[in-house]
Amino acid sequence: MKILKNGLLFLMCISLSFSCKEGAKDVRVLKLAHGLPPSHSVHLGLIYMNERLKELSEGKMSMDIYSSAQLGAENQCIELLQIGSLDITKVSSAALEGFADPFKVFGIPYLFHSRNQFFEVLDGPVGKRILESTEPYWFRGLAYFDSGARSFYTVNKPVCTPEDLKGLKIRVQKSPIAVEMMKTFGGSATPVDWGELYTALQSNVVDGAENNTPSVTTAFHHEVVKYYSVNEHTMCPDVIIISLATWQKLTEQERDWLRQAADDAAVYQRKLWAEQEKQSLKEMEEHGVEIIYPDKQPFMDAAAPMIERFKNNPVFHDLIDQIQNTHEKDN
């Protein structure tokens, strides 16, 4: 089990040891921590979740929310959840690949053919199955927040086809699936910490990266890159997860309140995200970044063998089959 064993974390654990408690007025207060800034749609969605939780419970439940990695980075928050010293956190689905195989499907390029189909999967039985797959690791999923689609952005050379990636060093997430994706497209996956990526792009340590549009602008990468290619190769959601130790302490009524609040917040956050994407694209253009809308078919053709390799794996076959057979509903 992945548990950080150092003195600093131990002290944090002690300070958080009463994170799920009932106060003088029998109010259960849960501690939630994440790494994004207060202006981000995820943080605003979590504030809305807290508001809904207080409404649904008539004041009997609430959350204390800590943003901007105040209680640690993503991996540290997961570790705090595992030992029951933090109640809830938000992580990228990529961070959960090392715990439960089902989360790896989000890193497979072009497995989802539209955003609507993507949301149908997340909000249906397949999404629920994936959320529950981490229980052996002492946490479970509550809901999915939108994190958009990931696309390539580069410093000196536009990416219009997979061939354009050959010879380019592209920063990807620390995920074996992301590394395999870059090999599939012909690029060179280069590990760089997110906090060091601005300098790496500026100094040409890497030729580009891949991410959603708000991440590019909030990290100011649009100041040093020239091209953003909207090829939308993967859709990796953010995931709200809860400590299993906390979950087991909750009554069925409290679980219902929390699930409903999380579901309502997901709907709210997805609307905020859509607006944030539009604003980020506009901000890029204002800084002189060329927005490219390449033909996606060559990228999809290049990704097809990777999809088949995973589908031929018994671990993923049924899951991928269910995803591919999920169709978006008519409006």
Q: What is the pLDDT of residues 13-72, one digit of tens each?
A: 434 444 444 444 689 999 999 998 898 999 999 999 999 999 999 999 999 999 999 999
Residue 124 lies in a domain: yes
pLDDT reported for residue 30: 98
Residue 71 lies in a domain: yes
pLDDT classification of 156: cutoffs 50, 70, 90? very high
pLDDT classification of 174: cutoffs 50, 70, 90? confident
pLDDT reported for residue 191: 86
Highest mean pLDDT among 10-14, 179-183, 325-329: 179-183
Residue 125 lies in a domain: yes
Does residue 2 register a pLDDT over 60? no
Does residue 3 register a pLDDT over 80? no
Cα 288 from chain centroid? Answer: 28
Task: Report, as an integer, the average pLDDT of 78-89.
Answer: 97
Q: What is the pLDDT of residues 287-317, one digit of tens each?
A: 999 999 999 999 999 999 999 999 999 999 9
Q: What is the pLDDT of residues 226-274, one digit of tens each?
A: 999 999 999 999 999 999 999 999 999 999 999 999 999 999 999 999 9
Distances (CA, A) of 116 to 102, 122, 202, 235, 290: 20, 10, 36, 12, 27
Whether residue 156 sits in one domain with residue 212: yes
**Contact (CB, 8 A) for 43 and 34:** yes
How many domains does the chain fold into?
2
Task: Report, as an integer, the average pLDDT of 131-147.
Answer: 97
**Contact (CB, 8 A) for 3 and 79:** yes
Whether residue 231 sits in one domain with residue 161: yes
Domain containing 134 equals 7-95+115-147+238-277
pLDDT reported for residue 194: 86
Average pLDDT, the chain: 92
Nearest to 324 by CA among 309, 311, 305: 311
Give dist(CA 115, CA 277) in Å, integer: 13
Q: For the whole model, what pTM was predicted?
A: 0.88
Instruction: Look up residue 161 and give its DSSP letter.
Output: S
Residue 264 lies in a domain: yes
The CA-based angle 16-30-79, given to 5 degrees, is 50
What CATH number has the domain bearing residue 172? 3.40.190.170
Whether residue 205 sits in one domain with residue 75: no
**Contact (CB, 8 A) for 139 and 78:** yes
Task: Report, as an integer, the average pLDDT of 193-222.
Answer: 95
**Percent of the chain's residues with pLDDT above 90:** 86
